Structure 1
Amino acid sequence: MARINEIVKYKKKRETTEIILTYMADRTAIDTIKGYFYQFDYAIVKVLELSQDTDAIIVEGIEDVDLNTVTEETAIQCKYYAKTEYNHSVIAKPIKLMLNHYKEVTNGTKKRINYKLYGYFQSGQTKLALPISSTFLKDHFLTYTENKIKRYHHLELNLTDVELDDFISLLEIDISALEYQSQLSKISTLLMNHFGCKAFEAEHFFYNNALKVIKDIAVESNIAKRKISKSEFLKRINFKRVLFNEWFILYKGEAKLFAELRTQYFTDLNISPFERFFIIEVPTINYVRAELKDLIFTVSRKWSKLSAREPHPFCPYIYLHNILPQELLDLKKELFSEGFIFIDGFDFDGSEFNPKSISKSANNSNCIKLKILNKLEHIDLTVKEINKTKEIYQFYNSNPFFDIPYPSVKQTHIQFSLLTDIKKII
């Protein structure tokens, strides 16, 4: 993960994704990014497999992933070479770096630890016979030519064969690591077993959250902040809301992610006559009224049934979070002037909000296409007034803003970057 800061130094969600996708235009870069994901995923596997809640990993410590348990400390170098045949030279550099650390151990300046090289290769694994001897270590990993000069890394470190044997006793080499998709499947199984969830939740909630946690700590400059225990990790990923996480989008693909969310939450050939609340955070930057109007029309069109033949007609509720009062008023005037019929729970000028008024049934006669809630507190009042089945879909830009729990109400939280993203989901 040495170049991870080059990829994630820009924090804004959509901008980060675009930078990464641009970087991925080159085929070599695609393989590099996949290597980062493989390392992220390996870190997730290792923290989930820790036996004790107090055991921990360090991301980007001595190596890509360091394990800290009561009984051992292991520094793990993780490599993914999907298109590369194994040759000794490919893993020589990380082994030399591990030996550098071991030298400091012999000098008394570093703590004695275990070392592991974990790598996936397309082929060639039979070239390495394990366990290795100190002679094999010297000949194939520590001896090399640089600028036409033969160099001996062990001699430069002034290490004896006895010390090299000791280093080998601490070193584990595994070049038959799990393939990329197999490792992802392992993560899914671990998450489903731990949280007792289905595959969709394991991937879109917990894996999505896990990627963000690992990415966030990987770029911390303070090594203490790159350490996370199993209990803390599970606590930080244990929430069921869809994050607009640039790394998860990069892994999944934006179009595929939106399609899967649409299938999971918003695809129903026979839409039930439920009372649906769409509560949407209006971005304060780059706000365009036309985009919001288009979204409003989409919500109304897709989630209303007002036909005279419909036995239980209905239309959705919408609340626009953070919209300025004057902008909301101007928006309503524009909708009204265009013949778009809505109600907002105010029966006359100067009246207080009336949840009974806004919850009255929409039908073919009154042609109410939408119910607009002006204030956040109006949601709770209206939900409590309605005796029918209710669903709440919250689309937030940064953090969820409506957090009242209702035992009998389905609530879905989805993070988004642009208003136009919501149209692609619902």
Structure 2
Amino acid sequence: MADVDVDKQREATASIRGYLYQLDAALLEILNSDIDDQIVIEGIEDFDRYSAEEITYCQVKYYAGKDLTNSVLRDPLYKLFQHFLGLDENARKNRKYSLYGFYADIKISTDPLTVERFKEIMEVGEYIPDAAGVKRLHKKSLLDDAVAADEVIEAFCQVFRIQLSSEFFEHRSSVIATVKRVQGISLLEAEGFHYPRAFDFIASMATKADHNDRTTTRRALQEHLKGTQAVHRRWLLREKDASEYGKYMRQLYFAPNNSAGVVRTFIIDVSTMKDSATICDQLREIARKWSSAKSKTTPNNERYAPFVVLRHSSADLISQVKNELFDTGTDFVDGFPYNGSAFRAEHLNAAQTKERQIALRFADNTDQLLQAVEIIGRKLCHFYDFFFESPLVLEVPGAKSRMVSIPVDDIATIKKII
């Protein structure tokens, strides 16, 4: 390979890396914010966070080849102070300012600022020739042209902080780890699928001219990421054989043996199915694995039975499935306690006991399911969406609910997964 000539003075690597670092920092802020806090990319500062209590302005710096000194801190600190100084007294009360970044070395204290320390940082030394031509050091301050009382400087110091972060690749790893935690996924999924899609979401937003188009929330980001898991699993389904795929999914989502305290819902796409016997075979396996119906030792107050929904099913197919389950001795409840009854969510939540061995809770559609789940309290809820073509779009209730979309090419694959 031929040598490539590079002008080191014009090489843009540091600038590009600094901008990527800034986008990673903004993504980390979104992931760690409350669900509806607004984050503005390239707002007043590199990113601004608007919460119910306060507004935070953040500058991001990535100086892998530069130490943090007074002179390096001076300009960004002064810019943040100028913004604070321009606000009226009431507006200053809920403002915060942050300098976030990485430096080759830290040569100064990063403790909270005092008025004296702030003034020291603002001082600039300049060598000016005297009448005899001898250069002498003269000190001036960036504050010389600003009308800033000590109490205003003190108020600013109280709301300013320096956040020292890690070098580029370590910082990116921490962002990916946060994606993993917030999305409740594996590291492989976070690194290979969710993080690239999230970064693209932020990078595309940063190019918009209108600040409204550069404003987002954690809720919006998570909506954007909803389809990512399904795409990943569709790829896995294609690349792996059924047994290997089933084992992988089982390890991810169905390894725990103890289901007590967890409400599980199995939503099964039956759009290509006409055979009720095959469907019942899967439902009986779900009941065997994820219901305590046949347990002789589980106390009544700790018993559990999963909800099931047949998605894209006709009323006739649902009726056939219910009849076959009943005829083969699988005890289940639906939301209809008697012939002609209106749907009753409380009946779908009838208690399983040693005497009443309810194995399944059968909802005819997702509307019935959501009504039933809403009245169960604060339990952790897992929704498993087994689909053929497209994942289910469902607004799951509560912060403790979790939706997992799993593609299958054959309904029999479900037994291999669960």
TM-score with structure 2 setting the length: 0.50
TM-score by length of 1: 0.49
